[in-house]
Amino acid sequence: MEIEDIELNEAVHHLQKKKHVDPAIIVVTPNQTKSIGPIDQRWEIGSITKVFTALLLAQLQHLGKISITENVAKYLPKTLDLPKNFEKITFEDLATHQSGLPRLPSGMKLFGKDAMVDPYSVFDEDRVFRAIQETKLKSIPGSGRPRYSNYGFGLLGFTLERVTGKAYEELLMQEIIEPLALASATFSDEELRQGHSRKKEVGPWHFGRFRSMGGLRLSASDLSMFLSTSQNKDHYLAPAFAETFKIRYQDKRTAVGLAWHYLKDQKIVGHGGGTLGARTEALIDLVKGSHLVLFGDGNQGTTKTALALLN
């Protein structure tokens, strides 16, 4: 498949109409790589962080430090008054959105005046423990269709800290980022792409002790390299990548791995991300051997544009 420059220009024009100021796109096929925009600038990648967290979980299992079928409660303080059925939640449940946890921690809202300014930044350790005790599960862990939960992935990284005795950022850098040589990866605001909401400049989100749900910052070129490496069977992290791509739940409409979501009859796998001022897409076409990375610096949807370009 040949990608015409006009297609990338049209995609950028479409995104600009949706109030993305200067988006970045990379499309990689077996025959060529095409890109447009500031692909080497560092961006908020939002929930695509979850893919990195899932890979970290799989790698820790590969190293024999954890089993993904272990119960999360094993690593939480015994003094916590756990909600009904919470003790049944496993690491795998968190990474497949089958924990029964709600989308957001208790008492948190993403709507209303100033609610989206920096909504997750309040989650220090005490606030995390309080959220756990105030949680009401939506379903029995490990049963039924996945229910997308930012809270679940925040709790996943938080618990991995307690398993290893290391901060999530340190763990991710040591086990995942450094082996992949992703030079732009950071959790700081340094040299971060300016985000926009309706073309007005807005600040980035910070995630407190829930950074594992959405706190990573990365360039489009490094995310493209991450997707390429995920398909490299000879890489050091290949066993962990393979673990994340295994389909662990499937019905007529849905198929999920560890963080990854499958589309188009499982021909495409990927994840999206969004904060107040950024939208990101990462998609792999498993049949054609191609992939796409799309970074928008606004908060309007980008998924349809990404899928259209990949196809």
How large is the C-alpha radius of gyration of the chain? 19
Give the pLDDT band of residue 15 (cuts 50, 70, 90).
very high
Residue found by looking up tokens 């495409």 in the block: 268
- 61: tokens are 């299992």
pTM of the model: 0.96
Looking at residue 112, its pLDDT comes to 57
Give the pLDDT band of residue 115 (cuts 50, 70, 90).
low
How many separate domains does the chain show? 1
Any idea what the CATH number is for the domain that residue 158 is in? 3.40.710.10
CA distance 162 to 145: 28
- 179: tokens are 């082996």
What is the SS3 string spanning the chain?
A: CCCCHHHHHHHHHHHHHCCCCCCEEEEECCCCEEEECCCCCEEECHHHHHHHHHHHHHHHHHCCCCCCCCEHHHHCCCCCCCCCCHHHCEHHHHHCCCCCCCCCCCCCCCCCCCCCCCCCCCCCHHHHHHHHHHCCCCCCCCCCCCCCCHHHHHHHHHHHHHHHCCCHHHHHHHHHHHHHCCCCCECCCCCECCEEECCEEECCCCCHHHHHHCCCEEEHHHHHHHHHHHCCCCCCCHHHHHHHHCCCEECCCCEECCCCEEECCCCEEEEEEECCCCEEEEEEECCCCEEEEEEECCCCCCHHHHHHHHC
- List all residues 6 or more positions away from 78 whose beta carbon is below 8 Å from its beta carbon: none
The pLDDT tens digits for 197-213 are: 988 999 999 999 999 99
Looking at residue 265, its pLDDT comes to 86
How much of the chain exceeds pLDDT 70, in percent?
Answer: 97
Share the mean pLDDT of the chain: 95
Give the pLDDT band of residue 249 (cuts 50, 70, 90).
very high
The pLDDT tens digits for 122-178 are: 999 999 999 999 999 999 999 989 999 999 999 999 999 999 999 999 999 999 999
Note the residue count of the chain: 311
Looking at residue 199, its pLDDT comes to 84
Looking at residue 136, its pLDDT comes to 95
Give the pLDDT band of residue 3 (cuts 50, 70, 90).
low
Q: What is the mean pLDDT of residues 108-128?
A: 80
Q: What range does the domain containing 189 cover? A: 5-310
Give the pLDDT band of residue 106 (cuts 50, 70, 90).
confident
Q: What is the mean pLDDT of residues 249-257?
A: 92
Give the pLDDT band of residue 109 (cuts 50, 70, 90).
low
Q: Taking a C-beta distance cutoff of 8 angstroms, is the pair 100, 85 a contact?
A: yes
pLDDT reading at 110 higher than 90: no
The pLDDT tens digits for 48-103 are: 999 999 999 999 999 999 999 999 999 999 999 999 999 999 999 999 999 999 99
pLDDT reading at 293 higher than 80: yes
- 159: tokens are 């618990």
Higher pLDDT, 231 or 1: 231
Q: What is the largest CA-CA distance in the chain?
A: 60
pLDDT reading at 111 higher than 90: no
Contacts 24+ apart (CB under 8 A), 87-90: 88/140, 88/141, 88/142, 89/141, 90/141, 90/142
